[in-house]
Amino acid sequence: MEVGFTLNGKARRLDVPAHWTLLRMLRDIAGSTDVKHGCGEGVCGACAVLVDGVAMNSCSVLAPQVDGATVETVGGLAAGGKLHPLQAEMVMRGGVQCGFCTPGMVLSALEAVRIGAAGSDEEIRHSLAGNLCRCTGYGKIVDAVAAYRDGEAPDDVPADAGEHEHRPEGGGSAASPGVGVGH
């Protein structure tokens, strides 16, 4: 069936089997590999996107459900070659390590700040409770979200900054680029 929606500000009309998830449509047809496939069953939050401004696990939403909706992914946040200020804070404060949780984490945090649900560290932690991170211990992520909320974020961090953060020693490459754009 045909699904018409707005993806990161662009109108899209995609032909997709009715039983496909939003996650599968975004990754396999729309080319949004910045949306991560983690558990696939609504537990980890890695696949979170904003649907009409609300963070949802895209593995738990059927593609036809976004017909007529506006969908935001982390890939749409950077602009003019610069990271979104929240992404910049995540990179600068060490909230990004392997980066796999980062796309969903950033979008959930963005929603929380937008709706005023990030007023304290406790509220931030509550808002991010559905996004699991194996690497950071969450503290640096909370710090980054608080700094963004308070308007401390630098506005001049290049969009590829996260790609060079926290590489393993010995020349290996990170499992996923730091700010959530990649495969």
Which residue in 47, 63, 69, 91 binds ligand FES (CB under 6 A)? 47
Tokens of 69: 């909706």
Choose between 30 and 135: whose C-beta lies nearer to ligand FES.
Answer: 135
In the block, tokens 């499992």 appear at 175
Q: C-alpha distances in angstroms, 175 versus 7, 107, 111, 172?
A: 26, 20, 26, 9
- Which residue, 9 or 172, is less far from ligand FES as judged by CB? 172
End-to-end CA distance of the chain: 26
- Which of 75, 76, 85, 99 contacts ligand FES by CB under 6 A? 99
Write down the residue that tokens 């991010």 correspond to. Answer: 128
List 35, 46, 51, 128, residue binding ligand FES (CB under 6 A): 46
Q: Which of residues 126-145 bind ligand FES (CB under 6 A)?
A: 133-136
Taking the complex as a whole, the smallest distance from the CB of residue 21 to ligand FES amounts, in Å, to: 9
- Strand, helix or coil for residue 72: strand
Minimum CB distance to ligand FES smaller for 2 or for 41: 41
Whether 128 contacts 105, CB under 8 Å:
yes
Q: What is the torsional sign of CA 142, 148, 150, 155?
A: positive
Nearer to ligand FES, 5 or 100 (CB): 100
Rule CB under 6 A: is residue 38 a binding residue for ligand FES?
yes
Q: Residue 8 is encoded by which pair of tokens? A: 């990161």
Give the footprint of ligand FES on this chain (CB under 6 A).
Answer: 37-40, 42-47, 57, 59, 96-101, 133-136
